[in-house]
Amino acid sequence: MKELNEVDRSEEFIKLLAEHERRLTAYVMTFVPRAADADDILQETKLGLWQSFDQFVAGTNFGAWARQAAFNRILDFRKRKGRESQHLMFSDCCIENLAVAFERSEGLMDARFGRLTHCVAKLPSEHRQIVSLRYHDSKSVDEIAEKMSRSVAATYRVLSRIRLALRDCILEIGGDSRLQSEPIQ
């Protein structure tokens, strides 16, 4: 990248980051439960990516490079905040295993997530409403329980079932529940 002038380099960086922004954000959120923490880590990561952009080799995998940088910051963050945090945290060993597992299936997951809207649309109407309350209207589980006239425990259960169904649909595991072939004619 060194032969590029400052503006070209900035443009190239902006372009690459724009392409990978959503996936990088989702990656950090996968490892960091609290969004405020994820936001901080993302900010630091992006600044770090820019500052070390000279080291990025054009044409190589920007996504993997950015995830590695983000993961290093996640580890730093855990060290910094770990002792003072009230929140439960996986061991370093466990989180590193997860990072390796993520890289193993990243391609599969990412390619499949284009199906998300389709899979949400296929949910039964009540489940779609719950997804909408949760993710579009930012309702808490307590509020969803009240709105749907369910207990909080039942709401957690239904949310977990919805999430599994969406995951199976996205990854097309066990077949698309509505996919039927015409009978052999």
Partner 1 sequence: MNNKDRQQIAHWVELLLDDQISAAEFEQLEQVIANDSDAQDLYLQLRYLDARLLLDGVHLAATRPAVRRDDKVSTANGDTRTANRHQTISPTRRFIGVLAIVAVFPFLLVWWAMPPRDVPSVIIAEITDSSDAVWAECMLPTAVGSQLSAGRLKIDRGLVTIRFKSGAEVILESPAELQLETAMRGTLHAGIAVVEVPESAHGFTIATPTAEAIDHGTAFAVIVDASRNVSSIEVLAGEVEVRHAKTDSSRRLFKQQHLTATEDKLLESTVPPTDLESKTAIRDVPSDLSFQRVTTAMGHGRDATISRGFVHGHKSDGLVLIKNPLEGYDQYSRKGYFSFDLSSISNEQVAAARFVLTLQPSGLGFASRVSDCSFTVYGLTNEARDDWSTQHVDWQTAPANLSGATELDTNQVQKIGRFVVTRGQQYGQVAVEGQELVDFLNADTNNSVTFIVVRDTKEERENGLVHGFASRTNAAAAPPTLLIRAESAADRR
Site residues (CB under 8 A) for partner 1, limited to 90-109: 90-91, 93-94, 97-98, 101-102, 104-105, 109
Q: Using CB under 8 A, pick the residue from 142, 151, 154, 172 that binds partner 1.
A: 142
Long-range contacts of 64-73 (CB under 8 A, 24+ apart): 64/103, 66/17, 66/20, 66/24, 67/24, 67/27, 67/102, 67/103, 67/106, 69/45, 70/24, 70/27, 70/28, 70/41, 70/42, 70/45, 71/31, 71/99, 73/41, 73/44, 73/45, 73/48
Q: Is residue 1 a contact point for partner 1 (CB under 8 A)?
A: no
87 is a site residue for partner 1 (CB under 8 A)? yes
Query: Closer to partner 1 at the Cβ: 22 or 80?
Result: 22
79 lies in the binding site for partner 1 (CB under 8 A): no
Residue 118's CB is within 10 A of a number of other CB atoms, namely 11
Q: How many CA atoms lie within 13 A of 65 on its CB side?
A: 19
Helix axes 6-31 and 35-51, enclosed angle (nearest 10) = 150
Query: Going residue by residue from 2 to 31, which x/- string records binding to partner 1, judged by CB under 8 A?
Result: ----xx--xx-xx--xxx-xx--xxx-xxx
Q: Which stretch binds partner 1 (CB under 8 A): 55-63, 67-75, 77-85, 125-133?
A: 125-133
**Contact residue for partner 1 among 52, 92, 96, 167 (CB under 8 A):** 167
Q: Does 84 bind partner 1 (CB under 8 A)?
A: no
Which CB, 61 or 94, lies closer to partner 1? 94
